[in-house]
Structures are given as structure tokens and as C-alpha cells.
Amino acid sequence: MSSMLEVKDLHAYYGKSHILHGVHLNVKQGEIVSLLGRNGAGRSTTIKAVMGQVQGTGSVMFKGEEMMGLKAYMVSRKGLGYVPENRDIFPTLTVRQNLLLGQKGSKPSGRWNMEDMFNIFPRLRERAEAPAGVMSGGEQQMLTLCRTLMGDPDLVMIDEPTEGLAPKIVEQVANLFDEIKNRGISILLVEQKLTIALKISQRVYVMGHGQIVFEGTPDDLRANESVRKEWLEV
């Protein structure tokens, strides 16, 4: 299966600080890949550099096309979705309006429609006509995810989706990831909770000090105590 996203020798900088030191990773079509590591290991910077939001060097190939050097909005137009950690909603608009803003054109044309979102997250249906700003953090997180999907990306990068969510909502998010994968869409996930990442991913990368220190299947990582101790356990 060909790679949807292939990152080679990615270096990234914030001002004079050198954050990423030659990151290599790839995500195939319809694959869920998790990027694990402690806070400060460089996981969020990696996806921001892929998105063109952080200055970087190296190669970011997406569907066979080089993305390095493109502005974030251009990367997004190519079909790369990004769900940032800070819930990115329009607080004064209704939930329904927020979802409509995610669509690329005025008509729904992609793999997802409003009804899909309401079926996966019934809470959004209940709050459809309410201003998005009055919802809880967890509901805003669902909305951000769904709005990104309404743009019909081929690959979606999601930063800490389950951070601060109630267990029941975490379960709904995990179900959504299954649904995304079933529609042939790839996911690159930055996730703090090891149990969730290992449960839903086909492959995992572990980062430490701005580099990839481990790549393998969830079973490989379960079997590798030294990597978990050195790079993951707090």
C-alpha cells in the first residue's frame, strides 16, 4: 500500500531553537498511526511543520506531492486536515453553522455530511442550533473534529484529541476514528494516553528529543519495556 504521507529528514525551528532533528515517518492510506512521547518531545511541532505552520526543512510528501514550503491554507486545500489541540471553533455561531463552515464548497460533496456527524455524536444534534461557545470543552473538541472532516480530507492529523475528555466521550472519539479509517482516510494521531493509542493504531512512532526513537506495531511496543520506560513513562 502506498504512503499517503511521507516525511523525510524533517528539521524544525522556533526562532533559534532547533526542535526537530531529522524526523522520518510515513502514513499509508486508511492507516491509523500514533505519535507518542512525553510533552516537549516534538510531537505537536512535527504535525505543525507538516502543516506549514512552523518553519522547517526536509521533505513532506503528501499523495506524491511536496508540501514543504507551502502555506498552511494551501496544504489544507490539498486534502490534509489538522485538528489542533486548542479547540478551534466559532463561539458565536451555532453548531450547525460551524459544521457548514468546514465544507470546502457551498454544497456537500465529500464522504461526510451533517447527518453522519450527528449520528456519531448525538450530543451535537441536540445542540445543533445552540451557539458553539456555550458547549463543554469535550463537545467543542467533537465539533472541531467534525468540522475538519466536513472538509473531506484524505488524511487528518489530530493533536491530543482525548485530553481532558470524559471516558464516555473518549469512547465516541475512538468510534469516530474507526469510522474514519473505514472510509479509507488516514489518521496521524498525537496522543498522550497509551492505552487508547495502542488500541486503535496499526503502527506507532515514539519521539524523544525531537527524533523518532522507536517505530513498530502496538504489540512491538507492548513487548518493549525499555522503550516505554525510557521514553514514555512519567
> For residue 109, what is the domain's CATH number?
3.40.50.300
pLDDT tens, position by position, 191-225 = 888 888 999 999 999 999 999 999 999 999 999 99
pLDDT of residue 82: 92
pLDDT of residue 200: 92
- Give the amino acid at 229: K
Domain extent for 96: 3-232
Extended beta strands in 111-202, E state? 155-159, 186-190
CA angle 41, 218, 149 (to 5 degrees): 75
Measuring CA to CA, which residue among 113, 159, 114, 169 is closest to residue 137? 169
DSSP letter (8 states) at residue 138: H
Coil, strand, or helix at residue 34?
A: strand
95 pLDDT above the threshold of 70: yes
% helix, strand, coil for the chain, step of 5: 40, 30, 35
108 pLDDT above the threshold of 80: no
pLDDT tens, position by position, 147-164 = 999 999 999 999 988 887
pLDDT of residue 16: 85
Extended beta strands in 29-178, E state? 32-36, 56-62, 65-66, 80-83, 155-159
Average pLDDT over the chain reads 91
Total domain count, the chain: 1
Going by pLDDT thresholds of 50, 70 and 90, the confidence category of residue 120 is: confident
Tell me the whole-structure pTM to 2 decimals.
0.91
pLDDT of residue 88: 77
Q: Return d(Cα 50, Cα 72) in angstroms, integer.
A: 9
- Which residues are registered as beta bridge partners of 13? 18
pLDDT of residue 1: 63
CB 227 within 8 A of CB 221: yes
pLDDT of residue 109: 67
- Give the amino acid at 221: L
The residues near 162 (Cβ < 8 Å, ≥ 6 apart) are 170, 173, 191, 192, 193, 196
CB 188 within 8 A of CB 20: no
Q: Return d(Cα 108, Cα 115) in angstroms, integer.
A: 11
Going by pLDDT thresholds of 50, 70 and 90, the confidence category of residue 168 is: confident
Q: Return d(Cα 24, Cα 32) in angstroms, integer.
A: 16
Q: Which residue has the cell 507518542?
A: 36
